[in-house]
Amino acid sequence: RGRRAIITEDFERECHGRGVLPDSPGILAWMSVPLNVGADTIGAVSLGSRDPSVIYSSDQANLLQAIADLVAGAIVKARLLEESEKRARQLATLNEVTRSLTSMLELQPLLNRILQSAVEILDCEAGSLLLIDDGTGEAVFAVALGPVGTELVGKRLPPGVGLVGKVVKSKQALIQNAVQQSTDWFDTDQQTGYTTRDLLVVPMVVKDRVTGVLEVLNKRDGSPFAWEDLELLSAFAGQAAVAIENARLYTLTDQALAARVEELSVMQRVDRDLNASLDLERVLHITLEWSLSRSKADAGLAGLLDQAGLQVVAAQGYSPELVTSGNSHLMLEIPALEEAIRSGQLQSYLLADAHSQAIVPIRRESQLIGIILLESKSGSGFPEELLAFLARLSDHAAIAISNAQLYAAVQSANLAKSQFVSSAAHELKNPLTSIKGYSDLLVSGAVGAVNEGQARFLATVRSNADRMGTLVSDLQDISRIEAGQLHLQYSEVSFKDAVDEVVRTLRKQIEEKLQTLVVEVPASLPLVWYDNTRLVQILTNLVSNAHKYTPSGGQIAIQAECVSNRWDAEGATQVVHAWVKDSGIGISPEDRLRLFEQFFRSEDPRVREVTGTGLGLSVTKNLVEMQGGRIWFESELNQGTTFHFTIPAVTNS
């Protein structure tokens, strides 16, 4: 108590003088030093002797004090370690229990688990979990553990009464050690015969609303509740409150949720079926089949509005004489249909012996585009939840119908465009042939001498005719590709021979522009499986582009190698990787995304100076990919461009 050493030669006299009974008879010399830790004394170390010749000195007391200081430090460290290990065990248990709570959705087993875990985590003798009755505000014992737990279950505490009422009102946890001395203690011990010594009460709060209270009683080791216990149980109670609320909601909405999940699952299958088809008739058949399946109706039809009335596209359950799918019209004017939709009934039944009828509109935005008509021989009608499902089904059907109609319109437009392009190209080809033939005849002097000026004019005519011929050829290729009518003549082709043919054709143009042409094609390259004419066309397009967009004095390179196909996992194992590189004007970043589009030409003035149609690269890309290859490019503005493409190689396999 004095935090000082005591030394005496007569232990019993010292004890009597201090009002303490001696606990070791016969002790004569005795000394004791405190175990001090900071400002606190946590114990003492004492030595005593029955030998009359022994007398303890102050030096010995100082030595014992030094030893006691070391012992005190070791005790504190041991206590801290024990407390840390205990807290770690509690937190591990808390985490494990919290994880298990999230998987429990049955309320009563969940409540039992929560209380049992709370009692175990803090090693208490007893505990209880109370739920707040929303109607009365009373706290009801839902679960109780301990010697008299069963006696408490079902009992009610009035709102605002006792420590539980105080916690509910304040939404704050509290510790009440020596609870019998508290004026707030609502003494249930009188009813149960159990003695509550210490109490820790924690609210369970969800969205700022107290839904229950968790309380634990009397630690088994007899120690009082501490602030750390309150923090631990509060954290657990927060998770427990959420789990209880989830279980409550699950219990209340189980059937509705199951029905909604089932509907979503069905709607997912409906969407999968609808989105799998872009055929308008198929879309309406699918819509009707799902409507009949879900409604159990005896007959139904689905149709679209046109100028003549309602065109029946799909029908089931009716006699063939009444409706013939795809070409029958129900003679209903739009106002009559709108009125039928508002009332849910046509003026008469289409199915004999029908007693129930439902009309579900199919609308695109606010416009009525069709209906689903269902009829049943049952007189029970169609329930509201079914009509709500059918309304959602019709919304999904409207999107699919719109997609199918748009697809049909696009296909029709593409067909018309392809037919026009094919026809125009065909009509242009014959006059061009005549123009080329007669200009060549004139240049040759077969019909008379041609002076220098006339020769220049004829050269211009021939050049423009050649350019027009290229355009016509590209248009024909595009038309055939889009129509799926481009026929390829595959054979084993020498890539090097194709390169040599292109070089012979374009060398004069390249030399006239003082450009350097480098060809590095190994003679050991394997043959490729390709259409030779199209291979020459691809190379001609790429080399011609390099020539046109590379200034005078620039360089063009044609190179190739045989390598494993790392560009297409599903393509040929071995490919010839070829590339055409130039030192030209390059391609701007904004133009790179559109380079392979039909009719695309850059706004760069240097590009516009060169004649072109914007079709060559589009045709080239299609030709490469149609024959199992890939094409791509690398470019830096003002530095040049490299076009790469791959060609399936002929291998032993």
Q: In sequence order, what E strands does 198-293 have?
A: 199-206, 209-219
The per-residue b/e assignment along 365-387, b for 16 or more CB within 10 angstroms, e otherwise, is: eeeebbbbbbbbeeeeebeeebb
Question: With 50 as the cut, is the pLDDT of residue 325 above it?
Answer: no
Only one residue has tokens 């007569």, namely 10
Contact 598, 618 (CB under 8 A): yes
Residues 6+ apart with CB under 8 A from 147: 125, 126, 194
Using 50, 70 and 90 to split pLDDT, how confident is the model at 562? very high
| The residue count for the chain | 653
Helices within 41-57 (DSSP H only): none
- Point out the least confidently predicted range of 51-65, 288-302, 353-367: 353-367
Closest listed residue to residue 126, CA positions, set 114, 141, 115: 115
State percent of the chain over pLDDT 90.
Answer: 25
Only one residue has tokens 């026009």, namely 420
Residue 559 confidence (pLDDT): 96
Task: Tell me the pairing of strands 139-145 and 156-157.
Answer: antiparallel
Only one residue has tokens 């006696």, namely 151
Using 50, 70 and 90 to split pLDDT, how confident is the model at 326? very low
Contact 211, 142 (CB under 8 A): no
Question: With 50 as the cut, is the pLDDT of residue 149 above it?
Answer: yes
One-letter amino acid at 321 equals E
What pLDDT, in 10s, does the model give residues 64-87?
Answer: 888 888 888 888 887 777 777 666
Highest mean pLDDT among 52-66, 347-361, 456-470, 524-538: 524-538
**Which domains does the chain show, CATH number per domain?**
6-80 (3.30.450.40), 102-251 (3.30.450.40), 277-484 (3.30.450.40), 488-648 (3.30.565.10)
pTM of the predicted model over 0.95: no
Q: Within its chain, how far is the Cα of 164 from the centroid?
A: 45
What pLDDT, in 10s, does the model give residues 164-204?
Answer: 999 999 999 999 988 877 766 666 655 556 788 899 999 99
Using 50, 70 and 90 to split pLDDT, how confident is the model at 421? low
- Point out the least confidently predicted range of 412-416, 442-446, 524-528: 412-416
Question: With 70 as the cut, is the pLDDT of residue 148 above it?
Answer: yes
Q: What is the DSSP string of 478-528?
A: HHHHHHT-----EEEE-HHHHHHHHHHHHHHHHHHTT-EEEEE--TTPPPE
227-275 and 58-101 helices cross at what angle (nearest 10)?
20
Q: In sequence order, what E strands does 289-347 have?
A: 299-306, 309-316, 328-330
Which phi and psi (to 5°) does residue 145 adopt?
-125, 145
The CA distance from 537 to 506, in Å, is 12
- Point out the least confidently predicted range of 248-252, 412-416, 589-593: 412-416
User: Average pLDDT over the chain, rounded to whole?
Assistant: 82
**Stretch 263-282: mean pLDDT:** 78
Q: Look at 516 and 307; give whichever has higher pLDDT.
A: 516
**Residue 638 Ramachandran class (φ > 0 left, ψ -120 to 50 alpha, else beta):** left
C-alpha distances (whole Å) from 62 to each of 41, 67, 309 are: 17, 9, 114
